[in-house]
Amino acid sequence: MGHVNLNNTTKRYDDVVAVDEINIEIEDGEFLCLVGPSGCGKSTTLEMVSGLTLPSSGTVEIAGEDVTNEPPKDRDISMVFQNIALFPHMDVDENISFGLRLRDFDKEEIDRRVEKAAKTVQLQGMLDRSPSELSGGQQQRVGIARAIVREPEVFLMDEPLANLDAKLRVHMRTEIQRLQKNLGITTVYVTHDQEEAMTMADRIAIINKGTLQQCAPPLECYNQPVNEFVASFIGSPSMNIFDGTMSEEAIDLEHFRLQHALGADHDGTDVRVGIRPEDVYLVGSEDEPATSSASFEAVVDVLEPVGDQTYAYLVPVTASSDDPELMGKDASELLVTIDPDTDIDEDETVEVILDRDKVHLFDGATGDAIAHSLVEQIAMETEADSSEEIRSD
Ligand code: ADP
């Protein structure tokens, strides 16, 4: 069974800790995405699963076997990279079957597997073409077919779609997902693109500076981010985040105040307050939430129509101040997604409310999540506790 375990797996290069004691248990047949900003340690983690890089400490298990020091050829894995590197002088058939021929499989078995793999990635009828006669997407499919014919326990993919144009990338995402589900092969997939990770994976492992932040299903990371880093990395456009100070019943932000029902535990705590653009509303819009905050005024700075919605960048106005210095693009700009038919213009003043049930609170010092709603005390504590459990996994 193709489960993969990383146990305190660490990679150090002199004084750089590329991957710092990562623990992940990937189930048999699971699709796990490693995601994070460039240089966070995703590829190094994948390379330690493949055997291309050996860990400095910790272990790697594949299918119940400790393979920490095994070379790649002795691990039951297939890899797909960003650069497909097909052999230009071989046709599609020869490219797909290369690994099997190298391992002396008999001709009949090779033909059977190539035919099956070509059918799976829809390359039938193209087996005698040379790579130069294929489009980028078709070449990538040859790369995937070459990985499939090995019939491995585990697929390892490192940004396999990064070189494709945007439309083809979205199409190939669906193809890889469908293929992975049909074949049921455990897959570890590296991407820096949070949207790709969100749409493809059963679970995403978010890494920052070599450290695993959260490993959970995509929507859990979106709705219950364990810390401010995950909150702002997952979701597009990004979550709005402001500084605030908590008192017993409210949180004071630079331009407005939010009532909370979290109790007095965090009285005086400096917090970071997060709210996603879709959880902010203009007063009077049809879908105003039942758990809305008090309204406050904001000036529309910029409107960006993107088709099915419009991004409105608002500058909250301090009720007691007419100070024009507070206007303009500053750190407290609030991004709101609104219906494209909404009748507002740039420079207009609008009334805004937030959904208090969707406000995230993070500790101002550590960035760790305190709550994912301001509405109910008990629900908050439960969520904060379960976030802790995820972190210590
Ligand atoms: P990602 O895939 O997330 O972009 P990497 O895993 O490639 O990140 O790199 C993680 C960190 O390790 C980076 O700081 C990178 O510079 C460092 N690193 C990676 N490979 C080496 C190496 N061979 N020698 C020294 N430092 C390395």
Tell whether ligand 1 has an atom less than 6 A from the beta carbon of residue 120. Answer: no
Q: Are strands 154-158 and 77-80 parallel, antiparallel or unpaired?
A: parallel
Q: Are residues 174 and 289 in the same domain?
A: no
Place 391 in a pLDDT band, splitting at 50, 70 and 90.
very low
Q: Do 334 and 210 share a structural domain?
A: no
In a domain, 392, yes or no: no
Which of 200, 215, 233 delimits the end of a domain? 233
Give yes or no for a contact between 246 and 269, defined as CB atoms under 8 angstroms apart. yes
> How far apart are the C-alpha atoms of 148 and 116, rounded to whole Å?
9
79-88, 91-100, 374-383, range with the lowest pLDDT: 374-383
User: Does residue 277 share a domain with residue 211?
Assistant: no
| Domain end marker among 215, 233, 251 | 233
Atom of ligand 1 minimally distant from the CA of 44: 6
- Please report the pLDDT score of residue 33 as a whole number: 98
Q: What is the mean pLDDT of residues 116-123?
A: 86
Domain end, chosen from 233, 258, 273, is at 233
How far is the first Cα of the chain from the last one, in angstroms, to the nearest whole number? Answer: 22
Structure tokens at 322: 């007419």
Query: In the prediction, which pLDDT does 163 show?
Result: 79
| Whether 214 and 268 share a structural domain | no
DSSP label at residue 56: S
Residue 385 is assigned to a structural domain of this protein: no
Cα of 42 to ligand 1 centre, how many Å? 8
pLDDT of residue 387: 45
Q: Are 99 and 208 found together in one domain?
A: yes
Q: Is residue 390 part of a domain?
A: no
Indicate the number of domains in the chain: 2
Q: Tell me, yes or no, whether 117 and 255 share the same domain.
A: no
Residue 110 lies in a domain: yes
Dist. CA 46 → ligand 1 center (Å): 11
Whether residue 257 sits in one domain with residue 181: no
Give the chain's mean pLDDT: 89
134 lies in the same domain as 265: no
Instruction: Give the atom of ligand 1 at the shortest distance from the alpha carbon of 41.
Output: 6
| Confidence class for position 146, pLDDT limits 50, 70, 90 | very high
Task: Indicate the SS3 state at residue 22.
Answer: strand
Contact 41, 49 (CB under 8 A): no
Please give the residue that has the higher pLDDT: either 135 or 266: 135
Average pLDDT over residues 338-360: 94
* CATH code, 54: 3.40.50.300
Take residue 296 and report the two structure tokens written for it: 């406050």
pLDDT in tens, 186-237: 999 999 999 999 999 999 999 999 999 999 999 999 999 999 999 999 999 9
CATH of the domain at 323: 2.40.50.140
Both tokens of residue 37?
């900003």
Burial class (CB in 10 A: 0-12, 13-18, 19+), 258: buried
**Enclosing H/E stretch for 34:** strand 31-35
Q: What's the gap in Å between 39 CA and the centre of ligand 1? A: 6
Mutate which of 9, 10, 16, 22 for ligand 1? The one with the most ligand atoms within 8 Å of its CB, which is 16
Same domain, 216 and 245: no
H-only helix segments in the chain: 42-50, 92-102, 107-120, 136-148, 166-183, 194-200, 218-223, 228-233, 377-392
pLDDT the model gives residue 379: 42
Predicted local confidence at residue 322, as pLDDT: 52
Q: What is the pLDDT of residues 367-389, one digit of tens each?
A: 999 999 999 764 444 444 444 44
* Confidence band, pLDDT 50/70/90 cuts, at residue 122: confident
Ligand 1, atom 15, residue with closest C-alpha: 39
Same domain (yes/no): 245, 218: no
- On whether both 227 and 135 belong to a single domain, the answer is yes
Q: Which domain holds residue 143?
A: 4-233
Return the best residue to mutate from 43, 45, 192 for the ligand 1 pocket (most ligand atoms within 8 A of CB). 43
pLDDT beyond 90 at 121: no
Residues 6+ apart with CB under 8 A from 357: 289, 291, 373, 374, 375
Mapped to the 3 state alphabet, what secondary structure does 124-172 carry?
A: CCCCCCCHHHCCHHHHHHHHHHHHHCCCCCEEEEECCCCCCCHHHHHHH
Identify whether residues 175 and 109 lie together within a single domain: yes
Q: Is the CB of 40 under 6 A from ligand 1?
A: yes
pLDDT of 251 higher than 80? yes
CA of 12 from ligand 1 middle (Å) equals 9
- Evaluate whether residue 386 is within a structural domain: no
Residue 377 has what pLDDT? 60
Ligand 1 nearest atom to the CA of residue 158, by list position: 2
Rounded Cα distance between 205 and 162, Å, is 19
- The residue with greater pLDDT, 108 or 381, is 108
Distance 6 CA to ligand 1 centre (A): 18
Both tokens assigned to 256: 């407005």
| Nearest residue to 359 via CA among 378, 345, 340, 372 | 372
Of the listed ranges 119-133, 279-293, 308-322, the least confidently predicted one is 308-322
> Quick check: is 387 in a domain?
no
Q: Is 267's pLDDT higher than 80? A: yes
Q: What is the pLDDT of residues 21-69, one digit of tens each?
A: 999 999 999 999 999 999 999 999 999 999 999 999 999 999 999 999 9
